[in-house]
Amino acid sequence: MAGTALRVALVGCGRISRNHFDAIAATPGLELTAVCDIVPERADAAAHSLGVRAFYSYEEMLRDAECEIVSVTTPSGLHPTHAMMAARAGKHVISEKPMAISLAAADEMLKVSDSSGMRLFVVMQNRLNPAIQLLRRAIDKGRFGRIYTVNSTVRWTRPQEYYDQASWRGTWALDGGAIMNQASHYVDLLQWLGGPVESVMAYTATLARRIEAEDTGVAVMKYRSGALGVLEVTMLTHPKNLEGSVTVLGEHGSVKIGGTAVNRVDHWEFADADEDDARVESAATNPVNVYGFGHQGYYRNVVAALAGNAPPDTDGLSGRASLELILATYESARTGRQVVLPLLSGR
């Protein structure tokens, strides 16, 4: 479709959909044509504000909407079903994180995507934060020397009202807890920046919220490189979001990317100078929420990838890697034992 906009339809007009709508509108080469939600009022509100067609049946949207891409922003446990339906209908898929809540479902998504010849993209927009991109370049350049530790801290708040707004939130069947939902981007960064994880030990707890899954969790990881990692997550920070950070400590450098959503360089020090050092101050962003601005960059990459001009920033295999680490963390917390990766695909 050279010279023609790629048409996008979106299913799931909830909390995260606005970031997708804004990103699609800001991305050259994309056009939103339809939205779908099983709650008619939500679909109608989105359709009216965006000037597109509303659907209340996903099957009808796949059949009747003019689109080459479907963005899936439904509850996490429904991502596999909706993604596979779209792929079988001949649509490329952009799935919000996590791509699934089991490896078996993730693997089925990959299988259907491959067999249908459709591309599967999994949104991990925090990789595109300017500060995170600077950190990744420092790692790729070898500026740290040997990396000793990679730590991530997510200290946010989700009040009971947040969970009460939708019955699926905090359930094992459709959502998972703080690690699977809110911290999945940070788990992704741990393995994207630190490399493959060899094993994990974890504890989780439901300390204050009335939900099935955890509102707080900690994990210690051993990387294949020998480095160690720590993940600390809670949704109980009083009275508002405090920190979403990643810290890398190495032989020749120390870096902390902080702010509320890895959007600011809090510390940057290396033994040797590099031209990137001058970019530290300009790498700070001020997002209005914890989602940041990365969705726009993500959609630009999708356009480039579908045109054959760039590799995908995060495809289905990348999404599976972060999901596997999340599930290993949950299994360790459940069993009280160290869990070695890789996991069996049936989990």
Which CATH number goes with the domain that contains 257?
3.30.360.10
Are 55 and 200 found together in one domain? no
Q: φ, ψ for residue 310 (rounded to 5)?
A: -160, 150
**Pairing of the two strands 30-36 and 53-55:** parallel
Task: Assess if residue 277 is contained within a domain.
Answer: no
Residue-level pLDDT at 1: 43
Are 169 and 254 found together in one domain? yes
Task: Assess if residue 271 is contained within a domain.
Answer: no
Are 10 and 38 found together in one domain? yes
Bridge partners of residue 197, in order along the sequence: 223
Task: Assess if residue 274 is contained within a domain.
Answer: no
| pTM of the predicted structure, to 2 decimals | 0.94
Are 98 and 166 found together in one domain? no
Domain count, the chain: 2
Q: Which residue segment(s) compose the domain that 174 sits in?
A: 127-265+322-340
Residue-level pLDDT at 2: 46
The confidence band for 270, taking pLDDT boundaries of 50, 70 and 90, is: very high
Please report, for residues 24, 26, 144, the alpha-carbon distance to residue 32 in angstroms, rounded to integers and kept in the order given. 7, 11, 43
Are 119 and 187 found together in one domain? no
Query: 120-169: per-residue pLDDT in tens?
Result: 999 999 999 999 999 999 999 999 999 999 999 999 999 999 999 999 99
Query: 166-222: per-residue pLDDT in tens?
Result: 999 999 999 999 999 999 999 999 999 999 999 999 999 999 999 999 999 999 999
Task: Assess if residue 151 is contained within a domain.
Answer: yes
Are 189 and 330 found together in one domain? yes
Is pLDDT at 286 greater than 80 in this prediction? no
Query: 25-39: per-residue pLDDT in tens?
Result: 999 999 999 999 999
Are 161 and 118 found together in one domain? no
Residue-level pLDDT at 345: 66
Are 119 and 147 found together in one domain? no
Task: Assess if residue 285 is contained within a domain.
Answer: no
d(CA 64, CA 18): 23
CATH number, residue 24: 3.40.50.720
